[in-house]
């Protein structure tokens, strides 16, 4: 029985930022607790019955005192709020340059697929000092992807994608837990995150037979389901072109706008009539039940890789510069 | 054992609410708020024991990292039943339904609650709801956790979700009716002179609690109904496979269940205000600030539910709004703590058993509240959400604070309720035991959570075992601390000294009538002709010689 150390490992950029706020909290609130406790304890000793220190009450309220001692509380919680919000935005707003890895949770395992098509189960291999974005979904109930050494978790939901990102700073193996109760074997839905040096990682990721990249797998699905028969660049195509769909804002029927992202693509495959692009009819059938979660991930990866047609590119002011150096092949 | 060493002087008052009739029928069909409080006391003690058994088994099982004497399925059922029973059948009704029922009418000078029959009805509803939950347990249990998260509970779980959900659904109506009864009583039945700002803070706390009960509970009832509709009829509401939204459930559930935390906590805060004031011989410092802070907590408490969902895919901006509002709650909470401590300033503090519980409450609430701020801080929550850190936090607030207040209140008003004292040193000892046991049981869980130990884990990595064993050891001490009061309270009913009308020399209507009170509390209509907590009055300045019943102590009103 080895007693655990009292603090977890700090193995990502975010974890290091997290620790700063953690210690600010510990010191400010710890101090507040100790002072409050000491004052209380002092009163109990000093004014205990029989000491003769009793002073008859005079029945006045002290509004100024109430305000005075509320101020430090307000001050500290305001700092905590602002600092905490900054940290939160850091964790959940992904940089576009991050490498995207797909995670699919199901009772009771984690299935992971890398951009080059390599799969693993209950393990996540990542290179050190590289921004990694996880795009996650669940096949059944809600799970939660939790890496204590990175101080990060996010719920993994059925029916939609959630994302988080990190940059590991320490090589080694770290716990991976499911943090949202998901049934019988919830406590066995665990694994490890392996952070490797760049060289080791390249060797690891290219090992194995017949690795087909996610984009290519997505392209095959795209072809198998003949998506291109409607979604093409021709003048009278029945569906909008999907070139450059990712990270671009589209006008919908009814005047709303939607930004092309994983959730939008996913929804449009499963519930095509939910958001119909302006100028097109709602004629697409649903592919619910025909394309599984991993297939959807591959489709997202494929569509993400489609660049805008050069003509379009010239017309449009790009929303975001196209990310560079994100492919790992 | 000061109490028992004092010779019994005087005798039980001729007639009181306990001896006015003795038949079972007279108890089961009573409309006396005091008897109904006793009925609740039995129900609540039963469910506390049941929930406690599940907790004990869980803590034992967790002393080894692997499976020990139960399978994962059984473990999941144990923590689910522990949570459901403790939250819905112990914590929510605990103080309001027992102490509140008993004291609230007396404290404002009324003969009963506004709707005595509805009061009895709410007890029956509570018991029927409890029965369904017991049936769910007897049929093999339920494995959804007390939070019933969808789509697990609505589609995937194959345990007795419907029975347990029905139990919770039904018992909710008991809360609603109790809240309604309290609100009407406080508005309409105060004695002459009992203005709003002369009401004891215990009553103010119950007023705030009742608002939450009335407004919040219907929402959880609706939510549970929707789960049942999806589970039973296959109508898609929460399961995306049926076209539903799983996060919608969390919004609805926490819209009630976060305010429900204040249903559990606020009455406890009311109890603490009474005890601290009495045993410091001081009026409560900042009376209005404490009263309004209860209301502030009740109102803002309705707007913070999203802080349970920072990791759930809720938008970043929603997270910020909920975090900010959560921080706001810290202020009235801190105001209460500071005022309680200021009440002791220049006081004459007696460390009786109730006072020990009250001081324990402040200590545990301090830790529970501050770790709540930690969890409400957006970035910090990401790591500790759904870990043992959360488990430790809410046990500090709900068990540490609320249960301390409940026990403190029982010790404070036991002489009034039963007409008997209890062995004071034993009571002090068990309060100390609970304090030590509690810290040992739950402090290691903060560390566990920060290390990354997720909650609701049957098996866990070996490196966490040491802290789990510490926690189990603490829980064992805690268990002894909880059993002791049950034993000496039962013992006291027959063997302890009879209580005087006002054994603590405390201020308040309830201490001006006999112990135990007569059936209708007051002989006439009492008049409140002074400020509350008038400990500057000569009446209270004589040294306390409690315990002994003397004749002529009852002020005729």
Sequential DSSP letters for B320-358 = HHHHHHHHHHHHHHHHHHHHHHHHHTT--B---HHHHHH
Distance from C-alpha of B306 to C-alpha of B254, rounded to nearest angstrom: 7
Report the DSSP beta bridge partners of residue A251: A257
CA dihedral B321, B325, B327, B330 (to 10 degrees): -170
Residue A91's closest CA among A134, A40, A48, A129?
A134
Q: What is the pLDDT of residues B196-218, one digit of tens each?
A: 999 999 999 999 999 999 999 99
Q: What is the ipTM of this complex?
A: 0.89
CA B185 to CA B189: how far, in whole Å?
Answer: 5
Neighbours of B218 (CB within 10 A): 15
Residues of chain B with pLDDT under 70: 1-13, 538-557
Whether residue A178 is predicted with pLDDT greater than 50 in this model: the reply is yes
Q: Using CB atoms within 10 Å of the CB of residue B48, give its burial: 0 to 12 exposed, 13 to 18 middle, 19+ buried.
A: buried
For residue A145, what pLDDT band results from cuts at 50, 70 and 90? Answer: very high
- Residue B283 tokens, joined: 């009026």
Mean pLDDT of A198-210: 86
B206 close to B265: Cβ distance less than 8 angstroms: no
- Distance, in Å, from the CA atom of B95 to the CA atom of B481, rounded to the nearest integer, reads 19
Helix (H) or strand (E) holding A281: none
Contacts of A3 in chain B (CB under 8 A): 463, 466-467
Which pLDDT value is given to residue B551? 41
Using CA of residue B276, residue B280, residue B281, residue B285, what is the dihedral sign?
Answer: negative
A69: chain B residues, CB-CB within 8 Å: 334-335, 338
- Are residues A181 and B456, on separate chains, in Cβ contact within 8 Å? yes
Using a CB-CB cut-off of 8 Å, the residues of chain B touching A185 are: 72
Identity of the residue in A18, A43, A86 whose CB atom sits nearest the CB atom of B344: A43
Q: Which two tokens stand for residue A325?
A: 């150096």
**Torsion sign across C-alpha atoms B488, B489, B494, B495:** positive
Of B143, B316, B386, the CB nearest to A92: B316
The answer to whether B516 touches B112, Cβ cutoff 8 Å, is no
Question: Can you give the pLDDT at residue A325?
Answer: 33
- Chain-centre distance of CA B402, in angstroms? 5
Contact residues on chain A for B155, CB-CB shorter than 8 A: 141
Instruction: Quickly tell me which residue has 């770790």 as its tokens.
Output: B371
At A92, list the tokens. 């959940």
Whether B273 and B203 have beta carbons less than 8 Å apart is answered as: no
Closest chain A residue to B155, measured at CA: A141
Please name the member of B282, B335, B466 whose beta carbon is closest to the beta carbon of A66: B335
Residues sharing a CB contact under 8 Å with residue A64, sequence separation 6 or more, in sequence order = none
Contact A153 B383 (CB under 8 A): yes
Cβ atoms within 10 Å, residue B276:
28
What is the DSSP pairing of strand A131-138 with strand A123-127?
unpaired
Closest approach of chain B CAs to the CA of A211, in angstroms? 31
Q: Which of chain B's residues have a Cβ under 8 Å away from the Cβ of A108? A: none
Out of B311, B387, B447, the one facing A155 most closely (by C-beta) is B311
pLDDT value for A308: 59
Instruction: Please give the helix or strand (H or E) that residue A128 lies within, else none.
Output: none
Distance CA B532, CA B541 (A): 16
Across the interface, of B282, B366, B447, the residue whose CB is closest to A6 is B447
Closest CA to B274 of B33, B488, B509, B529: B509
In the stretch 124-163 of chain A, residues with CB closer than 8 A to chain B read 140-142, 144, 146, 148-149, 151-155, 157-160, 162
DSSP B94-138: HHIIIIIHHHHHHHTT-SS-S-HHHHHHHHHHHHHHHHHHHHHHH
**Contacting residues for A117 by C-beta, under 8 A, at least 6 apart:** A211, A212, A213, A214, A216, A217
| Coil/strand/helix, residue A191 | strand
Q: Does A75 touch chain B (CB under 8 A)?
A: no
Binned at pLDDT 50, 70 and 90, residue A161 comes out as very high
Q: Is B410 helix (H, G, I), strand (E, B) or coil?
A: helix
pLDDT of residue A268: 86
CA proximity to B474, closest of B505, B447, B501: B447
Q: What is the pLDDT of residue A321?
A: 44
State the SS3 of A1-51. CCCCCCCCCCCEHHHHHHHHHHHHHHHHHHHHHHHHHHHHHHHHHHCECCC
Q: What's the pLDDT at A56? A: 79
The residue to which tokens 């819905």 are assigned? B88
| DSSP category for residue B531 | -
pLDDT above 50: residue A169: yes
A179, A162 Cβ separation under 8 angstroms: no
Min Cα–Cα distance to chain B from A215, Å: 26
| Contact assignment for A44 to B351 by CB distance below 8 Å | yes
A309 interface with B at CB cutoff 8 Å:
no
Q: How far is CA B437 from CA B300, B327, B470, B475, in A?
A: 33, 30, 10, 6
Q: Which residues of B touch A67 (CB under 8 A)?
A: none
Going edge to edge, which strands form the sheet with A119-121? A119-121, A109-113, A99-106, A131-138, A162-167
B451:A148 CB<8 A:
yes
CB burial of residue B543 (10 Å; 0-12, 13-18, 19+)? exposed
A254 touching chain B per CB within 8 A: no
**Residue B498 has what DSSP assignment?**
B
The pLDDT assigned to B313 comes to: 87
Tell me whether strands A99-106 and A109-113 are parallel, antiparallel or unpaired. antiparallel
Please report residues of A whose CB lies closer than 8 A to that of B201.
none
Number of H helices, E strands in chain A: 7, 12
Sheet of strand A143-147: strand arrangement? A123-127, A191-196, A172-178, A143-147, A152-156
Average pLDDT over residues A277-304: 85
A56 to B351: CB separation less than 8 angstroms, yes or no: no
B247, B281, B337 member nearest A157 (Cβ)? B247
Whether the CB of A258 is below 8 Å from some CB of chain B: the reply is no
Q: Is the pLDDT of residue A9 over 80?
A: yes
Compute the distance between CA of residue B12 and CA of residue A261 in angstroms, rounded to an integer: 77
pLDDT computed for residue B13 by the predictor? 52
Interchain CB distance below 8 Å, A58 and B536: yes
- Cα B63 to Cα B56: distance, rounded to the nearest angstrom: 11
């Amino acid at each position: 029985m080895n007693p655990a150390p009292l603090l977890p490992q700090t193995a990502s950029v975010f974890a290091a930022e997290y620790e700063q706020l953690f210690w600010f909290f510990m010191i400010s609130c710890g101090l507040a607790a100790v002072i409050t406790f000491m004052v209380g304890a002092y009163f109990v000793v000093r004014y205990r019955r029989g000491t003769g220190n009793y002073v008859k009450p005079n029945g006045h309220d002290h509004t100024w005192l109430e305000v005075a001692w509320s101020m430090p509380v307000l001050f500290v919680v305001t700092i905590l709020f602002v600092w905490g919000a900054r940290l939160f935005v850091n964790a959940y707003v992904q940089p576009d340059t991050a490498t995207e890895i797909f995670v699919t949770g199901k009772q009771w395992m984690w299935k992971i697929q890398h951009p080059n098509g390599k799969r693993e189960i209950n393990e996540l291999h990542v290179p050190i000092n590289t921004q990694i974005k996880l795009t996650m979904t669940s096949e059944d109930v809600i799970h939660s992807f939790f890496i204590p050494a990175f101080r990060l978790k996010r719920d993994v939901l059925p029916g939609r994608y959630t994302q988080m990102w990190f940059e590991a700073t320490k090589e080694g193996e770290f716990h991976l837990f499911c943090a949202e109760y998901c049934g019988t074997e919830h406590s066995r839905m665990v694994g490890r995150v392996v952070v490797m040096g760049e060289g080791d990682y390249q060797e690891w990721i290219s090992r194995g037979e017949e690795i087909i990249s996610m984009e290519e797998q997505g392209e095959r699905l795209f072809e198998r389901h003949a998506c291109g028969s409607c979604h093409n660049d021709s003048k009278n195509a029945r569906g909008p072109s999907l070139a450059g769909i990712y990270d671009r804002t589209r006008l919908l029927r009814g005047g709303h706008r939607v930004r092309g992202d994983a959730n939008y693509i996913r929804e449009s495959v499963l519930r095509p009539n939910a958001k119909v692009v302006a100028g097109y009819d709602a004629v697409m059938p649903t592919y619910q039940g025909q394309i599984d979660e991993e297939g959807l991930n591959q489709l997202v990866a494929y569509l993400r890789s489609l660049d805008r047609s050069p003509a379009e590119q010239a017309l449009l002011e790009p929303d975001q510069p196209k990310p560079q150096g994100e492919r790992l092949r | 054992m000061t109490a028992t060493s004092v010779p019994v002087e005087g005798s039980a008052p001729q007639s009181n609410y306990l001896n006015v009739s003795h038949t079972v029928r007279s108890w089961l069909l009573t409309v006396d708020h005091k008897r109904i409080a006793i009925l609740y006391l039995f129900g609540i003690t039963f469910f506390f024991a049941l929930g406690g058994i599940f907790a004990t088994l869980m803590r034992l099982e967790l002393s080894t990292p692997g499976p020990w004497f139960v399978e994962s399925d059984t473990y999941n059922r144990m923590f689910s039943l522990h949570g459901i029973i403790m939250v819905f059948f112990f914590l929510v009704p605990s103080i309001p339904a027992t102490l509140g029922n008993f004291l609230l009418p007396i404290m404002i000078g009324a003969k009963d609650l506004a709707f005595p029959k509805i009061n009895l009805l709410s007890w029956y509803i509570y018991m029927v709801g409890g029965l369904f939950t017991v049936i769910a347990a007897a049929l093999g249990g339920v494995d959804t956790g007390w939070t019933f998260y969808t789509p697990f509970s609505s589609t995937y779980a194959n345990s007795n979700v419907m029975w347990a959900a029905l139990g919770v659904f039904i018992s909710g109506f008991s809360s609603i009716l109790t809240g309604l009864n309290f609100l009407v009583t406080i508005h309409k039945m105060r004695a002459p002179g009992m203005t709003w700002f002369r009401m004891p803070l215990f009553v103010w706390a119950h007023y705030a609690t009742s608002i939450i009960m009335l407004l919040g509970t219907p929402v959880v009832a609706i939510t549970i109904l929707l789960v049942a509709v999806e589970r039973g009829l296959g109508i898609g509401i929460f399961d995306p496979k049926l076209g539903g939204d799983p996060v919608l459930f969390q919004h609805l559930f926490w819209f009630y269940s976060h305010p429900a935390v204040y249903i559990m906590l606020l009455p406890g805060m009311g109890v603490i205000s009474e005890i601290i004031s009495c045993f410091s011989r001081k009026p409560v410092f900042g009376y209005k600030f404490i009263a309004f802070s209860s209301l502030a907590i009740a109102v803002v408490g309705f707007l913070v539910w999203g802080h349970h969902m920072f990791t759930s895919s809720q938008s970043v901006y929603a997270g910020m709004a909920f975090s900010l509002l959560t921080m706001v709650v810290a202020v009235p909470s801190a105001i209460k703590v500071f005022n309680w401590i200021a009440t002791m300033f220049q006081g004459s503090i007696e460390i009786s058993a109730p006072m020990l519980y009250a001081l324990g409450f402040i200590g545990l609430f301090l830790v529970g509240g501050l770790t709540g701020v930690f969890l409400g801080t957006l970035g910090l929550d990401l790591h500790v959400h759904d870990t043992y850190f959360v488990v430790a936090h809410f046990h500090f607030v709900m068990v540490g604070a609320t249960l301390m207040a409940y026990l403190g209140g029982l010790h404070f008003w036991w002489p009034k309720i039963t007409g008997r004292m209890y062995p004071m040193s034993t009571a002090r000892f068990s309060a100390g035991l609970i304090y030590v046991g509690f810290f040992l049981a739950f402090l290691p869980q903060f560390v566990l959570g920060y290390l990354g130990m997720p909650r609701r884990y049957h098996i866990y990595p070996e490196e966490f075992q040491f802290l789990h064993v510490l926690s189990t050891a603490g829980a064992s001490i805690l268990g002894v601390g909880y059993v002791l009061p049950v034993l000496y309270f039962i013992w006291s009913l027959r063997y302890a000294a009879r209580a005087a009308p006002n054994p603590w020399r405390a201020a308040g209507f309830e201490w001006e009538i006999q112990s135990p009170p007569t059936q209708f509390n007051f002989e006439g209509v009492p008049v409140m002709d002074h400020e509350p907590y008038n400990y500057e009055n000569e009446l209270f300045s004589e040294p306390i010689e409690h315990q002994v019943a003397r004749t002529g102590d009852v002020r005729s009103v």
